[in-house]
Amino acid sequence: MNDSSTRSWDAAADDWVAHADTSDYQHLFLQPRMLALAGDVTGRRVLDLGCGEGAYSRELVRCGARVTGIDGSERLVDIARVRASTSGVAIDHRCLNASALDSLADASFDLIVASMIFMNVEDYPGAIREAHRVLAPGGALCMSLTHPCFSAPVSDWVRGKGRVPRHFAVDRYFERIAWDDRIAPTFRTPTLRRHRPLEDYLSGALQAGFVLQDFQEPMATDADLQASARFEPMTRIPYFLFMRWEKTLG
């Protein structure tokens, strides 16, 4: 099933892969934190929701998980398949919309890793309900997001002399809105950027039946700054939000 989110990401797929392959945010900040939040995955049935070109899926297999990777972009799923095969890792890849996981059975996963997907999906309530349906009781959903408090339609650093960042300004926070934006200047095609207030992410997951287990707004540490000086703004505000939710047994 195609919608505005899957069409937009399919159009920008090759630019995303080139970006993801070289992104310090991806490799040095986001991925290690998500894998830590996921914990021990040995022998676990893991769904990589919005798997993109598949870096998380391949790493999860290396950590001992049995992985299914789904994405709404045909092009990204093709690239993820080729990369898994080249790396010699077995992953079940499917092109599916996160809000219609029709070919995935109820209660068929122990863990869902949803890295940087939910702020992109057109139908977040549908996607979070589907995540709950395919998780086994006792299973966990680990998600990362662009932090919704700092991703409103008006949200940017206000700079002083010499473009030194003075403070971060946010406006139009309550708007639920999507607009075309380039992730980086290297992108030939814009992707559909979307904003929802934090309340929508929390209430959607609670209404689906999830219980919140962990909530992290990662601040860049000294070690992060050694790894990349570009992380400096994250010593002042969180660019990302990580949450771990549980589907309870009862």
Residues that bind ligand SAM in the complex, under the rule CB under 6 A: 5-6, 9, 20, 26, 50-52, 55-56, 71-73, 76, 97-99, 115-117, 120-121
CB of 72 to ligand SAM, least distance (A): 3
- Classify each residue of 64-86 as buried b or exposed e, where b means 16 or more C-beta atoms within 10 Å of its C-beta: ebbbbbbbbbebbbebbbebbee
d(CA 54, CA 69): 7
**Which helix H or strand E contains 199, and what residues bound it?**
helix 198-208
**Phi-psi map region of 107: left, alpha, beta (phi>0 left; psi -120 to 50 alpha):** left
CB of 167 to ligand SAM, least distance (A): 27
Nearer to ligand SAM, 11 or 165 (CB): 11
Give me the amino acid identity at 7: R
CB of 4 to ligand SAM, least distance (A): 9
Q: Are 141 and 114 in contact (CB under 8 A)?
A: yes
Nearer to ligand SAM, 117 or 135 (CB): 117
Nearer to ligand SAM, 89 or 165 (CB): 89
CB of 99 to ligand SAM, least distance (A): 6
Tokens of 97: 């919309």
CB of 51 to ligand SAM, least distance (A): 6
Beta strands in the chain, from DSSP E residues, in sequence order: 45-49, 66-71, 91-95, 109-115, 135-146, 154-159, 165-171, 177-181, 191-195, 210-216, 240-247
Q: Are 17 and 79 in contact (CB under 8 A)?
A: yes
CB of 161 to ligand SAM, least distance (A): 34
Nearer to ligand SAM, 10 or 110 (CB): 10
Nearer to ligand SAM, 61 or 121 (CB): 121
Nearer to ligand SAM, 121 or 142 (CB): 121
CB nearest ligand SAM: which residue? 52
Give me the amino acid identity at 119: M
